[in-house]
Amino acid sequence: DSATRPLVIAFHGYGGDADWPFASAHIERHVASTGLAVATIDGGNFYWHARKSGVDPSSLVVQDLLPLMGRKGLAIDRVGLIGWSMGGHGALLMATRLGPGRVAGVAAASAALWQSPADSAAGAFDDRGDFVRNDVFTAQAQGKLRAIPVRLDCGRDDPFIVANRALAHELPEAATTFDTGGHTEEYWTAHAEAQMVWLSKRFQ
């Protein structure tokens, strides 16, 4: 019965949509074996946070998607989070917002992380203030990822490997897989099973 399955919210990457976690990372292959339910929305290319345009995909997750899943009978008091690239950033950011009481674990693959506003991708943030407000490193420095199980997967040939290693250094308890691979669908598909199994264990 899907209503008894722990719920995982999936955050797609840049250029993706609600189908992306299934069409590109193929997490549907690991739903039955892990006993998890997966829900996702189309978050656009807004890096999963409130923008000055008024768009806020993160609030859609909290205010619309989670209540909808609750009405379907799924437990929404404690959820898992998973994301890729831009969505990895989004999943980590969401974890800092929901907190340890609500988040069983967060798995981020090739998370799009930057250690300074100048390094960030064009259009990822409105301005320097927007970067600081939505910076995973700043949130971590404030202790907002403490007590939340975190898993980071990133290929050694991925442009985000330096920032992912830096976050792992700040989170010594985090599970990390920094192995062969780049910022590719092949990498994400290859690591999806391990990530889903890891998330399933966070609910046990």
Q: What is the pLDDT of residues 35-85, one digit of tens each?
A: 999 999 999 999 999 999 999 999 999 999 999 999 999 999 999 999 999
Buried/exposed code over 17-37 (b: 16+ C-beta within 10 A; e: otherwise): eeebbbebbebeebbeebebb
pLDDT tier, 4 (very low <50, low <70, confident <90, very high otherwise): confident
Percent of the chain whose pLDDT exceeds 70: 99
Q: Please report the pLDDT score of residue 143 as a whole number.
A: 96
Q: Please report the pLDDT score of residue 93 as a whole number.
A: 98
Structure tokens, 151: 């898993």
CA distance linking residue 62 with residue 102, whole number of Å: 11
Q: Please report the pLDDT score of residue 1 as a whole number.
A: 65
Q: What is the pLDDT of residues 130-176, one digit of tens each?
A: 999 999 999 999 999 999 999 999 999 999 999 999 999 999 999 99
